[in-house]
A = this chain, B = another copy of it.
Amino acid sequence: MQSLKNRITLKEVAERAGVSRSAVSRTFTPGASVSKGTRERVERAAEELGYQPSVLASGLSTGRTKLIGLVSNNFRNPFYLEVFDTFTTALQNSDLRPLLVNLTEDFDADRAQSMLQQYSVDGVVVASSTLPPQFATAFSNAGLPVVHAFARHLDNPNVDTVGIDDVSCGDLAARHLLGLGYKQLGFIGGPQKAASTMDRQTGFLRVAGSECPVFYAEDYAFDAGFSAMNHAIESGKIADAYFCGDDVVAIGAKAALEASGRSVPGDVGLIGVNGMTISGWQSVDLTTFRQPLACIVDAVIERLLELMEDPASTPRAIRFDPELIERNTLARR
């Protein structure tokens, strides 16, 4: 009923330019057949009226909205601000628009999915290391192109994934610690049920040995890292160096060590994962494995574009290597 605001429509531009509506539409459709003359007249008319084509209307007939659902449940970990920053700018550069979804108890997977379907998004990016693979699969079952970033890697995935290989990251961490001369290694993971935790643990213990002490932070958060390290301290036999499942967890762990009178890296060494900006602050100065965020994001979007072209394309798992950033929470023994 109501016209959308008092927006200028195709029709008005057509009238002003003295051409048919199709001509106007074609002027704004790359690759359509319009003569130089009409194109110029249409463009002038559009310019004069301040015409903005309606994505809703064109989406209705073309079936594309250029909307991408950006779904995450990590709105507490500062690393994800960098993730959102990188994703939104990259999507914008590809002429796509992020429709942000914050998964909570109230707004669960089902609601998220039906909402994204209602908006006819062209694709979905799941950005989370804690969501299970089924979450992403649900979208692809519904016929939506989806790429899961920071997900667990399988050799024959049934949904596209991009990220680092957590198992080999754990492996690398243990080797690095041993290489520095640490003898007693310890592992402080994120949430126990998160795929990233399990995989990093697997890789780490493979090298460090299965008797190596293991603790979990309930959450990828400072407090959780703090209390996980306190458990480690209370356990009596504290390790020489810990591999922590996340930088924020590591920062919490460091605070707990210092609160107990121990120094880092003097008494105990720490290494994290993610390589978020904060870790580089002089007052933190955390040695960590950086996620190659820009590469990951680019790969996600490239893959998403491919899936939009060919939805039947078989899922792939794209891996990048984490980059060791040596700072000041580890010392040669």
Query: Cβ of A101: which chain B residues have Cβ within 8 Å of it?
Result: 88, 92
For A81, give its contact among B2, B57, B81, B144 (CB under 8 Å): B81
Contact A119 B55 (CB under 8 A): yes
CB distance from A65 to the nearest CB of B (A): 7
Binds B, one of A158-166, A236-244, A275-283: A275-283
Write out the residue numbers on chain B whose beta carbons fall within 8 Å of the beta carbon of A282: 226, 255, 259
**A4-B120, A89-B102, A100-B88 known; A251+B81 contact, CB < 8 A:** no
B143 and A6 contacting across the interface, CB-CB below 8 Å: yes
Contact A5 B88 (CB under 8 A): no
In the complex formed, the residue of B with least CB distance to A98 is B100
Q: Is the CB of B60 within 8 A of A60?
A: yes
A-B contacts, 19 of them at CB < 8 A, read A3-B63, A5-B63, A5-B143, A7-B117, A52-B114, A55-B119, A56-B60, A56-B119, A67-B119, A75-B81, A75-B85, A92-B104, A92-B106, A93-B107, A97-B115, A98-B100, A99-B100, A222-B281, A283-B283
- B251 contacts A281, CB within 8 Å? yes
Q: For chain A residues 118-165, which have a beta carbon within 8 Å of chain B?
A: 118-120, 143-144
Which of B76, B114, B283 touches A277 (beta carbons < 8 Å)? B76
A252 touching B281 in the complex, CB below 8 Å, given contacts A2-B63, A81-B80, A93-B106: yes
- Residues of chain B within 8 A of A181, CB atoms compared: none
